[in-house]
Amino acid sequence: MNKSGRTLAVATVLLLLGVTLAPPLQRYFTQRAQISALSAQLHDSDKTLKKAAQELAQWNDPAFVAAQARSRLHYVYPGERQYIVLGAPDSLTKDPNGPAAPVSENIPTGIPWYAKIVSSITSTNQVQQP
């Protein structure tokens, strides 16, 4: 066999080898990609499960349940009174140490208490927002 015949035989063998191995290699890499995607999904699911378990443990604590009932459902303990201020600016509701509602400076003096209450209600509606 001459040199060009050997080259042709080697090229043919390599071509057949490539054609034979291409589909299994493609399936292998496809399956590796699927395995990687599923392991990432499993990792995310484990994180979500751990977070849910921590939240469930919080809900088993009676103090946490009472705090959630007070804040979400506006429940109060017997003997307490709760006041909800509507229309308060966000700057006042975000600061827990600040006043619960704006206080009017225009309350007249020297009038009966019920007139002061009516005056305070009408004057807070007219308070200028900064």
pLDDT of 48-72, one tens digit each? 999 999 999 999 999 999 998 888 8
Res 35: pLDDT: 95
Higher pLDDT, 88 or 28: 28
pLDDT above 70 (res 107): no
Give the pLDDT confidence score for residue 117 in this predicted structure. 79
Does position 96 have pLDDT exceeding 70, yes or no? no
Nearest CA among 113, 109, 112, 93 for reference residue 101: 93
State the pTM of this model: 0.43
Q: Which residue in the block uniquely carries the two structure tokens 């208490």? A: 113
The whole-number pLDDT of residue 27 equals 92
Question: In whole angstroms, how far apart are CA 86 and each of 8, 39, 56, 92, 104?
Answer: 89, 49, 33, 12, 16
pLDDT greater than 60 at residue 125: no
Distance of CA 25 to the CA centre of its chain: 42
Q: List the helix and strand counts (H, then E) for the chain.
A: 4, 0
> Residue 113 has what pLDDT?
80
Is residue 123 within 8 Å of 104, Cβ to Cβ? yes
Averaged pLDDT score across all residues of the chain: 81
Structure tokens at 44: 């995310």
What is the CB-side half-sphere exposure of residue 31 using CA atoms within 13 A?
6
